[in-house]
Structure 1
Amino acid sequence: MISKDWCTLLKACYNQDVLVGLKKCLIRPLEDIGFLRTASGGRSMAGNESQLTDWISQLDSSDGEIRQSARHQLVQAGSDAVPALINALDHSSETMRWEAAKTLGEIRDPAAVEPLIEILADDDSVRFVAASALIGMSNDSVPAILRALITEPARFRDGGCFVLHHLASDDEKLREPLTPVVEALMSLDSSLLVPVESEKALSKLR
């Protein structure tokens, strides 16, 4: 059975207002990225490790405006910031992990997919941010999630179900291969069915 928190989110997906809100949440960061890159002239932040370290540390600030500003700067840095943000996912502060996951979701670098999938198994609010990030990176995240469900179906059942359910509902191209996986994840025999259906879905997507 799917846990209560994930079930609440799954039910909310049937509410069109919630879907519109989630889409805005996922799309707006891309607009911010476009603005920031234009303003900077596309300049690389490579070599500015000290500045990146400062911005990463600011993600744990008690001041929301400072965190937001740091997140925007890190999004502007793009792939240069990804390794440090991935490391921040292991930080002891939930705020730091939350902000790091959100920033990685805005950057949408494929290197962040597997670390974000690992977060799906966590017990805090960061897992929901990671799920939203993975939904926005579906081209890269879906195969990786399916592989995780093949090897560790119990560990990634709840988070994987949320992400794949949303994508199967919202993307016609993914609906046919992912729907049997979602049904397996929700079944009482999920430990037996999920690896089989995930393998089938992965074959269809290759």
Structure 2
Amino acid sequence: MDSKETETALQQLASDDGVVREKARKSLVATHSPEVIRALISELVDPRKQVRWEAAKALSEIGDPVAALGLVHAMDDDSKEVAWIAAEGVAAMGTAGLTAVLSGLTRSSRCPEFHKVAHHALKEFHKRGTNREIVETVMQALEGVEPRLTAPVVAYEALSKLRLAKTSA
């Protein structure tokens, strides 16, 4: 897929026709070049919800860890549908995705909605068997009495454990 075809496919993500959007998304996913990934990350901030959803879905299907931070930012989207598809996508990225979610939580004194979406992502990590012990600890913090206070601290500690495990491996 050349630059012109990529641009056309990106424009088609805004189509009112679901079949056109799906075909465009699938062609972008099939290409999964660095150019396409960068372009899709840019689309995560498009003013149109459907374009953000399509971009998050495509990045989730591509599964390149380069998109992990972009998807974590999309987990804070005003649209619950965009946020949840981003959470599922980042969970499919394994440890790189978990690192991005934990990093997002360390900076989080955000609204409870972000915590709900992060919890959803952590449940997905748990289902996939990604660092279960670490995931369970952070989930407990999010389920606790004051997650705005405890979750960033616990996420930071979990992030430190992940980094330590990575350097000793």
Q: How does the TM-score come out when normalised to structure 1? A: 0.72
* Alignment-derived partner of residue 52 in structure 1: 6
- What stretches of structure 1 of length at least 5 have no aligned partner? 1-44
1:166 aligned counterpart, secondary structure: helix
Shift of 1:173: 4.9
2:131 aligned counterpart, secondary structure: helix
2:22 corresponds to which of 64, 68, 83: 68
* Alignment-derived partner of residue 110 in structure 1: 65
* Alignment-derived partner of residue 121 in structure 2: 163
Contact conserved, 2:43 with 2:52, CA < 8 A, in 1? yes
Structure 2 distance, partners of 1:119, 1:199, is 20
What is the 5 A alignment of 1:1-206? Answer: 45=1, 48-79=2-33, 80-124=35-79, 125-155=81-111, 156-168=114-126, 170-206=127-163
Shift of 1:202: 1.6
Structure 2 distance, partners of 1:151, 1:190, is 13
Matched residue pairs, number?
Answer: 159
Runs of 4+ in 1 over 3 A off after TM superposition: none
Show CA shifts across 1:139-160 (max 9, x none).
2110111111112243432211
Q: Identify if the C-alpha distance between structure 1 residues 118 and 74 changes in structure 2 by more than 3 Å, giving closer, same or farther.
A: same
Structure 1 distance, partners of 2:117, 2:88, is 10
Amino acid paired to 1:55: A
Amino acid paired to 1:190: P
Q: Identify if the C-alpha distance between structure 1 residues 172 and 68 changes in structure 2 by more than 3 Å, giving closer, same or farther.
A: closer
* Alignment-derived partner of residue 167 in structure 2: none
Shift of 1:204: 2.3
Structure with more relative contact order (C-alpha pairs < 8 Å, separation 6 or more): 1
Shift of 1:96: 0.8
- What stretches of structure 2 of length at least 5 have no aligned partner? 164-169
Amino acid paired to 1:86: I
Structure 1 distance, partners of 2:152, 2:26, is 38
Contact conserved, 2:28 with 2:58, CA < 8 A, in 1? yes
Structure 1 distance, partners of 2:109, 2:136, is 16
Q: Identify if the C-alpha distance between structure 1 residues 195 and 69 changes in structure 2 by more than 3 Å, giving closer, same or farther.
A: same
2:32 aligned counterpart, secondary structure: helix
RMSD over aligned CA atoms reads 1.5
Q: How does the TM-score come out when normalised to structure 2? A: 0.86
Structure 2 distance, partners of 1:166, 1:96, is 24
Q: Identify if the C-alpha distance between structure 1 residues 141 and 173 changes in structure 2 by more than 3 Å, giving closer, same or farther.
A: closer
